[in-house]
Amino acid sequence: MRFGLIAGNGQFPLLALQAARQAGDEAVAFGIREEASERIEELAARTHWISLGQLGKLIDLCRQEGITQIMMAGQVKHGQIFSRIRPDWKLVKVLASLASQNTDSLIGGVIRALEAEGIQLVDSTLLLKTMLAGEGVQTRRKPSKEERADLDYGRRIAAALSQVDVGQSVAVCERACIALEAMEGTDAMLRRAASLVEGRAICLVKGSRRRRHLLFDVPVLGLASIPVLEETRTTAIAVDTGRTLLLEKREFLRELDRIGVTLVGEPPSDVAPVAGISG
């Protein structure tokens, strides 16, 4: 298999490239200069560096490499998209075609521009299926009765949140919604929630926005999450089964056991299509 990989930050692109190498696939990395680790150069067959907004350069490089399939792996901070992006002419035309410029609309427009050039965006979890969350309790400890009530309440909030293009995470304490994720990301949301509950325990719910696809913005947890979970006294987590990546899954679950956090995989709520993106 030969494909391109647009690399954002974090372990996700590194693990995906490592999995591609182990499978004997040829992965050409397109590193986002403002986000990606230079370590992608050690794992990819070849690496090209692009800046946010250089859609035309990405398309030209794909043509040069003969790439017709590409995946997105790793986070691009939403704040970066709106504060540092300097669109080239190709992206300017995409932006001009959008009714709104939220994340889903923007990436949907990029997908359509790539498809028009014969480049298909593929499932971003394709190489890491074994790291998707399973169903049921994934840790040694089960949620307490109180945590279960908080997680159930949080999932109802997350289901409502999924109908609009904002963050994927909800922080709950004693059946009250303490914080909703926006552009700041899950870690910052948890810290904000912790500042409001005066040392009480928090439950975290991560949803998957009711999408039929796993093309981009897949919910992710991993070893990098552990310090923040400890710091914020987050004691229970609910995620969507088969739609949330638990990076370095075995080690991550072992660390959750060490700090006493329970994690539960729940079947996703009914999914709805994202405007402009086929299921």
Q: What is the domain partition of the chain in residue ranges?
A: 2-121, 130-266
- Comparing 39-53, 76-90, 155-169, which segment has the lowest mean pLDDT? 76-90
Pairwise CA distance, residues 12 & 35, whole Å: 12
Q: What gap in Å lies between CA 185 and CA 180, rounded to an integer?
A: 10
Residue type, 66: G
How much is the pLDDT for 81? Answer: 60
| Residue whose entry in the numeric block shows the structure tokens 């309790």 | 137
Which element (helix H / strand E) includes 236? Answer: strand 234-240
Interval 159-197: pLDDT, tens: 888 777 677 899 999 999 999 998 788 999 999 999 999
Q: What is the pLDDT of residue 105?
A: 78
Q: Which bin fits 23, alpha (ψ -120 to 50), beta or left (φ > 0)?
A: alpha
pLDDT score at 224: 94
* pLDDT reported for residue 84: 63
Whether 273 has a pLDDT exceeding 70, the answer reads no
Is the model's pTM score more than 0.85?
A: yes
pLDDT in tens, 91-146: 899 888 887 767 777 888 899 999 999 999 999 999 999 999 999 999 999 999 99
pLDDT at 58 over 80: yes
State pLDDT tens for residues 205-242: 998 865 666 777 788 999 999 999 999 999 999 999 99
SS3 content of the chain, % helix, strand, coil (to 5): 40, 20, 40
Instruction: Please report the pLDDT score of residue 1 as a whole number.
Output: 81
pLDDT at residue number 278: 40
Residue with the bigger pLDDT between 22 and 1: it is 22
Class (C level, CATH) for 2-121: alpha beta
% residues pLDDT > 90 (the chain) = 70
275: helix, coil or strand?
A: coil
Pull the structure tokens for residue 194.
Answer: 């912790």
What is the second-level CATH architecture of the domain 130-266? 3-Layer(aba) Sandwich (3.40)
Q: Is 197 helix (H, G, I), strand (E, B) or coil?
A: helix
Q: Which pLDDT score, from 0 to 100, does residue 183 have?
A: 78
pLDDT at 211: 60
Q: What interhelical angle do 55-65 and 103-116 show, nearest 10?
A: 40
At 165 the pLDDT is: 65
Find out whether 127 and 16 touch, Cβ atoms under 8 Å: yes
